[in-house]
């Protein structure tokens, strides 16, 4: 769904700007960057292991319309610890894996110190005045990523947002799916499950999904 949806956006506007927070090794960014060379992609990946693979993938594919920014995103400018998921390069997270016996039993090195910056600061630095699509996959930290946009979190600046929602990851940040959705509704966005036409307009509409399952939410 995501690649098809983003392709429709990119095909309508040659100079589209996509911001991808939690880019991993470039799984979603690279196919689009190759297909739409006139678009601009700002890819944010804090963990050095997937970030280094992302750079290699860009070099191998001769991609020059991607800017990789190696930082975590949060409400403050500070240093943070990112915890390595030993069996999934897309599962590294700021909140750690305490209580996750399936992860804790696998040998792995300790937390890595990374910079943490508000997304507003990234928009300012790269002069992103209009973002056609913001994609966020940060293992439960999505609420704080959106909050860190501050004055940029409005439809005239960010047209569409696709954010991952997983109850286990979000509980680790002391937030819920409704916290995320209500924040966006307050900012004038509507919400639905990505790939569905049903709107989520109240807390009772938030889908109940199993721990360790995730869905994507579309804000528009």
Structure confidence by residue, pLDDT tens digits, 153-189:
999 999 999 999 999 999 999 999 999 999 999 999 9
pLDDT of residue 104: 67
CA dihedral sign of residues 12, 18, 24, 25? positive
Using alpha carbons, select from 19, 125, 18, 22 the residue that is nearest to residue 73.
22
Q: Of 87 and 167, which is predicted with more confidence?
A: 167
pLDDT over 70 (residue 192): yes
Q: Of 111 and 134, which is predicted with more confidence?
A: 134
Q: Which helix (H) or strand (E) holds 103?
A: helix 101-104
Highest mean pLDDT (candidates 4-18, 88-102, 141-155) = 141-155
Residue 219 — left, alpha, or beta (φ > 0 → left; ψ -120 to 50 → alpha)?
A: beta
pLDDT over 90 (residue 105): no
Rounded mean pLDDT, 74-93 = 85
β-strands 112-117, 72-73 pairing: parallel
Output the average pLDDT for the chain. Answer: 93
Q: Tell me the CA distances in angstroms from 135 to 3, 59, 98, 203, one per residue in order.
A: 11, 23, 27, 23
Superfamily (CATH H level) for 2-219 = Vaccinia Virus protein VP39 (3.40.50.150)
Give residue for tokens 């696709």.
162
* Distance from C-alpha of 131 to C-alpha of 175, rounded to nearest angstrom: 26
Buried-exposed string 95-112: b where 16+ CB fall within 10 A, e elsewhere: bebeeeeebeeeeeeeee
- Judged by average pLDDT, the poorest of 41-55, 96-110, 193-207 is 96-110
At residue 80 the predicted structure's pLDDT band, cuts being 50, 70 and 90, is: very high
* Distance from C-alpha of 178 to C-alpha of 201, rounded to nearest angstrom: 10
Residue pair 191/181 in contact (Cβ under 8 Å)? The answer is: yes
Residue 24 — left, alpha, or beta (φ > 0 → left; ψ -120 to 50 → alpha)?
A: left
pLDDT over 90 (residue 215): yes
At residue 37 the predicted structure's pLDDT band, cuts being 50, 70 and 90, is: very high
Rounded mean pLDDT, 120-144 = 97
């Amino acid at each position: 769904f995501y690649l098809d949806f983003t392709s429709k956006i990119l095909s309508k506007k040659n100079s589209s700007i996509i911001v991808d927070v939690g880019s991993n090794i470039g799984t979603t960014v690279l196919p689009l960057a190759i297909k739409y060379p006139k678009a601009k992609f700002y890819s944010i990946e804090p963990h050095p292991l997937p970030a280094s693979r992302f750079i290699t993938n860009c070099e191998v594919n001769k991609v020059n319309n991607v800017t990789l920014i190696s930082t975590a995103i949060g409400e403050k400018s500070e240093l943070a610890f990112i915890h390595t998921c030993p069996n999934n390069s897309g599962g590294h997270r700021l909140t750690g894996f305490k209580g996750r016996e399936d992860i804790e039993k696998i040998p792995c090195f300790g937390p890595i110190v990374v910079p943490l910056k508000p997304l507003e600061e990234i928009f300012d630095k790269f002069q992103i005045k209009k973002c056609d699509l913001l994609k966020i996959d940060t293992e439960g930290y999505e609420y704080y990523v959106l909050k860190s946009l501050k004055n940029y979190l409005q439809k005239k600046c960010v047209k569409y947002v696709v954010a991952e929602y997983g109850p286990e990851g979000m509980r680790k940040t002391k937030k819920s799916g409704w916290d995320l959705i209500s924040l966006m509704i307050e900012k004038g966005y509507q919400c639905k499950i990505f790939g569905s036409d049903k709107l989520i307009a109240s807390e009772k509409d938030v889908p109940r999904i199993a721990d360790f399952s995730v869905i994507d939410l579309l804000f528009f």
